[in-house]
Amino acid sequence: MSSLTIALVQTDICWLDPVKNTQRLTAKLADINEVDLIVLPETFATGFAFDQPDVGEVPNGPILDWMKQTAAQKGAVVVGSVAVNSVVVNSVAVNQDDKNANRLYWVTPAGEVSHYDKRHLFRMGNEHHHVVAGNTREVFEIKGFKVLPLVCYDLRFPVWSRNRNDYDVLLNIANWPGARRKVWDTLLQARAMENQCYVIAVNRVGDDGKGVGHSGGTAAYDFKGDTLSSAADHQCEIIVQTLDLEALNKFKKAFPAHLDGDEFQLL
């Protein structure tokens, strides 16, 4: 039986203080062992501060170094998003029109790094003025599970996350405001049901540097949209959830709605 054990880290984020945030996370993760995947919120080291000067670090910067060290120490893949200088030319970071990428890193214990750049930029927060949108859909593999990574606002766009029978787990990391919490909860369950997949969702708590409040909503859902586990609202908490690939495959075999999906092509 193939299983995947995941630590979902719901935490507050100190505004524009990567050192303090990574130190706090190291302490929080001290007792987390024997997991395969550690999932951190969107922009876990800085907060959602793309309009701030110098918020983006160069590729292979100190935040990514911390992720590599943590992955090696824990023997687990570490996932989280980082503001990164958007263009690299001949291994030199070039900041394109002062924009960054909102880059989800997938870091293995061996130090291998893959990434997904957030596709849908939150225009109501002017993210599109400060961030370069990604244009590549990625699927990562771990222990026989195929994982589709999304970042926050991506959740609202079902075409981008449509399961083409190419993933088992939809993973979304976010700084999703508490004012729109109902949307977060509803869409996560909908994505699980329509895509016949597990959903892993990690959101932050606390107020950011602009006074925007976040209530959490970190949770794991099964392929029927049922809650497997969830963190308490407004609290820093790590929940550990194990997913069963055999159970997912058995469900899809008995109810193969995925075989009747409409064909489409993204332009």
Q: Which of 14, 118, 127, 197 is catalytic?
A: 118
Verify whether residue 42 is a known catalytic residue. Answer: yes
Q: Which residues are paired to 242 by β-bridges?
A: 5
Verify whether residue 141 is a known catalytic residue. Answer: no
155-165 core/surface letters (b: 16 or more CB in 10 A; e: else): beeeeebbbee
Q: How far is CA 65 from CA 28, 72, 95, in A?
A: 18, 11, 20
Give the integer Cα–Cα distance in Å for 42 and 39.
10
Verify whether residue 57 is a known catalytic residue. Answer: no
Burial class (CB in 10 A: 0-12, 13-18, 19+), 261: middle
Give the integer Cα–Cα distance in Å for 45 and 34.
24
Tell me if 38 sits within 8 A of 246, measured CB to CB: no
Q: Which of 42, 57, 68, 127 is catalytic?
A: 42
Q: Which of 14, 57, 127, 152 is catalytic?
A: 152
Residues belonging to the active site:
42, 118, 152
